[in-house]
Amino acid sequence: MKIVVLAGGLSTERDVSLTSGAGICKTLREKGHDAFLLDVFLGFPYDSDKLEEVFTLPGAGLEIAEGIKTTEPDLDAIKASREDQSDCFLGPNVVEICRLADIVFMGLHGDVGENGKLQATFDILGIKYTGPNYLGSALAMDKGIAKQIFKMSGVPTPLGTALKKEKKDTPLAELGLSLPVVVKPCSGGSSIGVYIVNTDAEYKAAIEKSFSYEDEVVIEPYIKGREFACGIIDGKALPVIEIIPKTGWFDYSNKYQAGATEEICPAQIPDEVAARIQKATELAFKSLKLDIYSRADFLLDENGDIYCLEMNTLPGMTSASLLPKEAKAAGIEYADLCELIIEKSLARYNAK
């Protein structure tokens, strides 16, 4: 098949996306597919009458993936580097190349890549893509809305509330919360802009920093516990994985730097606890109207209670990512996982 692996963009998770995309692209080419790695924002300036050639170019576009740095990318520099200086999210020839493909493998993370806007655009343009539909993506990306849906659907999740920027000075007590709390952007990812705060001064600073990413944040009680994740494919939960950072918590640096975190899969927890996490994952997936695949993040506190923090609709696919490790524990190798995602995504279109 001719496959575009779409990555990059203007998300704070840009580097993660490009690295995920490179891994997917290499694997698909090894499996005999004509895959090409394409940056959704920078595009691919090329003669319009020769675009079919991109699927057989020797480099496959892989030169745009430079690895994940310890700090988030400079998005202003990325914007300045675009040749046509356009502020359109879709770069040169992106739509045209995607329309030539049999399917677009969505290797994007965060922002427009996961919030349903691009999925809806592709639906209108008749472009087939992998991963959840536009509605499920939109619901899951907004942590405030997802939290409300979890509560109504019986998915265990921390108490908490969403806060708009114009009300950032609202005292915690008026929000029904008290220190310590977690402050995070409503639609962020990779733990960027997430702060665990214990004092009033830390809270004030965290609010300012988190609002620098977007105009709405989520504030939750801090829950001390072990960190877990559970992937799901076609409505069926994968084995649970435990995440054990060597220092601190599972922040941006610990997520993507080799050796910073230990992952154990299947997690060494009682079968009953694993079953509760898997059941909650499947319920969260269904309640958010998701399809194809996703990954849920959990905390397990000292009392044995579980809390679903969020659903990641396009989970990372790097060598250090959680979903491929969970799939492997279920007997699905990385290359087979990539093809399975494509297979399930194409089946959605064939069913219409």
Domains and CATH numbers, the chain: 2-129 (3.40.50.20), 149-155+224-350 (3.30.470.20), 159-221 (3.30.1490.20)
143-153 vs 271-287: helix crossing angle, rounded to 10: 110
Residues 12 and 72: their CA atoms lie apart, in Å, by 6
CB atoms within 10 A of CB 221: 15
Segments of the chain with pLDDT less than 50? 189-190, 249-250, 252, 254-256
Residues near 67 by beta carbon (within 8 Å), at least 6 away in sequence: 15, 19
Q: Taking Cα atoms as reference points, which of 118, 124, 160, 158 lies closest to residue 141? A: 118
> What's the confidence (pLDDT) of residue 158?
95
> What type of residue sits at position 200?
D
> What's the confidence (pLDDT) of residue 69?
77
> What's the confidence (pLDDT) of residue 186?
83
Residues 327 and 232: their CA atoms lie apart, in Å, by 9
> What's the confidence (pLDDT) of residue 96?
97
Alpha helices in 109-267 (DSSP H): 111-114, 117-125, 134-141, 143-153, 200-211, 252-256
Task: Give strand ranges (E) for 234-292.
Answer: 236-237, 241-245, 261-264
> What's the confidence (pLDDT) of residue 213?
80
Residues 104 and 83: their CA atoms lie apart, in Å, by 24
* HSE, side-chain direction, 13 A CA sphere, residue 7: 32
3-class DSSP state for residue 116? coil
> What type of residue sits at position 242?
E
> What's the confidence (pLDDT) of residue 192?
67
Residues near 168 by beta carbon (within 8 Å), at least 6 away in sequence: 207, 208, 211
> What's the confidence (pLDDT) of residue 123?
98
What's the token pair of residue 225? 């516990």
Strands 261-264 vs 236-237: parallel, antiparallel or unpaired: unpaired
CB atoms within 10 A of CB 253: 17
Residues 2 and 19: their CA atoms lie apart, in Å, by 20
CB atoms within 10 A of CB 68: 26
Structure pTM? Answer: 0.91
219 close to 163: Cβ distance less than 8 angstroms: yes
